[in-house]
């Protein structure tokens, strides 16, 4: 492995010893064929928060949604901001309630080489005294002046502990090589 170097003009940087943080890799899913959804289940309840990091593309210009514990009822809401091409000169916004899933991100315009990046934080996922809140940051840029960046927050109105997570395109499929990694953050 090459030694990581630092270049700051004529100044030499310094290396700090690697140390571990309370952040565990739990499971990674990389699609070997197009799929209508991906799921995480049977993960530990011993963490304080969860984070999902993914790069995806889809077979359709659609947004991607997330739901919990296989709840397909109208128990979700989201608010968000969007920026980039297609939003004029000001930041756009979105809002919806009584949804069957949270709009976590949008993967339009990606295609086979320009991938959407997304980070989803699921906070206090085992607490049974509160509804569950998530936040996402995502974006895609297709290299030709089109794309967008998203900041979203989502709500699942249930106080149940989250034991399963499903992520799915609103229509059609994720492309091959789309990948999601689930991490646990200790409190």
Partner 1 sequence: MTAGNTYTPITSTTLGSDQPSFTFSSIPSTYTDLVIVTNNRLTSTGLGFLLNINGGSTSLSYQRGGSDGATTFTSNTTDRIDITGVGSGAGAGLFATHILNVMSYANTNGYKTILFKSNNASNSSVPGFVIFGVGNWHSTAAINAITFIPAAGNIASGSIFTLYGIAAA
Identify the residue among 58, 139, 154, 169 touching partner 1 (CB under 8 A): 139
Under rule CB under 8 A, residue 165 binds partner 1? no
Total length of the chain: 187
Of 101-130, binders to partner 1 (CB under 8 A) are 112-119
Under rule CB under 8 A, residue 5 binds partner 1? yes
- In the bound complex, what is the minimum distance in angstroms from residue 109's beta carbon to partner 1? 10
Binding mask 10-29 for partner 1 (x = CB under 8 A): xx-xxxx-xxxxxxxxxxx-
Euclidean distance between CA atoms 42 and 179, whole angstroms: 19
Under rule CB under 8 A, residue 89 binds partner 1? yes
Q: For tokens 């030694």, what's the residue?
A: 3
Report phi then psi at 67, rounded to 5. Answer: -140, 165
Euclidean distance between CA atoms 152 and 2, whole angstroms: 38
Under rule CB under 8 A, residue 37 binds partner 1? no
- In the bound complex, what is the minimum distance in angstroms from residue 159's beta carbon to partner 1? 26
Identify the residue among 31, 39, 81, 161 touching partner 1 (CB under 8 A): 81
Q: Give residues with Cβ within 8 angstroms of 130, minimum separation 6.
A: 124, 159
Euclidean distance between CA atoms 158 and 167, whole angstroms: 18
Closest C-alpha to 138, from 167, 118, 120, 153:
118
Residues that bind partner 1 (CB under 8 A): 1-11, 13-16, 18-28, 44, 53, 55, 57, 81-85, 87-92, 112-119, 137-149, 151, 177, 179, 181, 183-184
């Amino acid at each position: 492995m090459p030694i990581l170097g630092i270049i700051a003009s004529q100044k030499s940087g310094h290396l700090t010893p690697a140390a571990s943080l309370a952040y565990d890799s739990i499971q990674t899913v990389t699609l070997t064929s197009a799929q209508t959804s991906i799921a995480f289940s049977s993960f530990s309840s011993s963490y304080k928060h969860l984070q999902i990091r993914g790069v995806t593309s889809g077979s359709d210009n659609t947004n991607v949604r997330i739901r919990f514990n296989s709840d397909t009822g109208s128990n979700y809401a989201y608010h968000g901001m969007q920026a980039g091409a297609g939003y004029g000169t000001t930041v756009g916004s979105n809002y919806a309630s009584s949804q069957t899933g949270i709009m976590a991100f949008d993967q339009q315009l990606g295609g086979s080489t320009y991938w959407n990046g997304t980070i989803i934080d699921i906070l206090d996922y085992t607490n049974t005294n509160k509804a569950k809140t998530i936040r996402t940051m995502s974006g895609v840029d297709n290299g030709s002046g089109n794309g967008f960046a998203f900041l979203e927050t989502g709500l699942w109105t249930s106080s149940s502990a989250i034991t399963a997570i499903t992520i799915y395109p609103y229509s059609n499929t994720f492309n091959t090589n789309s990948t999601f990694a689930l991490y646990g953050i200790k409190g």
